[in-house]
Amino acid sequence: MSTDPALRDAVEAFLGAHDDGILPIVRAGHPVLRQVAAPYDGQLGDLFPRLVEAMRLTMIAAPGVGLAAPQVGIGIAVAVLQDAGSPEGGADPRERSPLDFRVLVNPSYERHGDASVSFYEGCLSVPGYQAVVPRARSVRLTGEDETGRPLDEVVTGWPARIVQHETDHLRGELYVDHAHTRSLTSDDTLARLWAADPVPREAAARLGFPLD
């Protein structure tokens, strides 16, 4: 592990300009969202926990269930996740179980099993819109946590979707790259027409996209 003084100074100045800890979220079209994030290997030294906390606060304030460092303009392979889960509990076909706050460092995933599921998905960097994205129901997640402890686990359901979405950010990918473009809808239209059915069967039939 080696600190990068130039990066550390830039991040320290960036955090210092936002005393409340809420960072501006980069929108689609910014080059940082299309670049592969650099592996994190201690470049920020003792500033790292401060960045993680600022990312947590930014994610909550947005509000969102995940945030990758490139989304705040910092091209390192770090993401934070947290989701209260669905009030419908086990009745939610999305399997949106509660996800405690966690940090992913240099994460990677691979499909675990053959099952794919398709649901509407949005992104803090593409505000105002959602689209149906087919994703693996379960993935094997590897990487490290914020302490450097290795991660190697299987994640299923909505938490697996969050892992895939945020890890894709670190690869320079947005959810729209994987979405059925004919499903693209504004948030208000989704709430008015399609929100009653979490499995987007009617949307698929009426908008003309396949439901994987």
Q: Which residues are annotated as a binding site for Fe cation?
A: 123, 165, 169
Report which DSSP code applies to 130. Answer: E
The per-residue DSSP string of the chain comes to ----HHHHHHHHHHHHT-TTSPPPPPPTT-GGGGSPPBPPSSTTGGGHHHHHHHHHHHHHHTT-SEEEGGGGT--BSEEEEEE---TTGGG-TT----EEEEEEEEEEEEE-SS-EEEEEEE-TTSTTEEEEEEEESEEEEEEE-TTS-EEEEEEESHHHHHHHHHHHHHTT--GGGTS-GGG-EEHHHIIIIITT-SS-HHHHHHHT----
Rounded Cα distance between 185 and 201, Å, is 15
Residues making up the binding site: 123, 165, 169
Quick check: is 173 catalytic? no
- Hey, what are 27's tokens? 């929108």
Judged by DSSP in three states, 75 sits in coil
Q: Of residues 146, 153, 166, 202, which has the active-site annotation?
A: 166
Rounded Cα distance between 209 and 188, Å, is 20
- The catalytic residue positions are 166
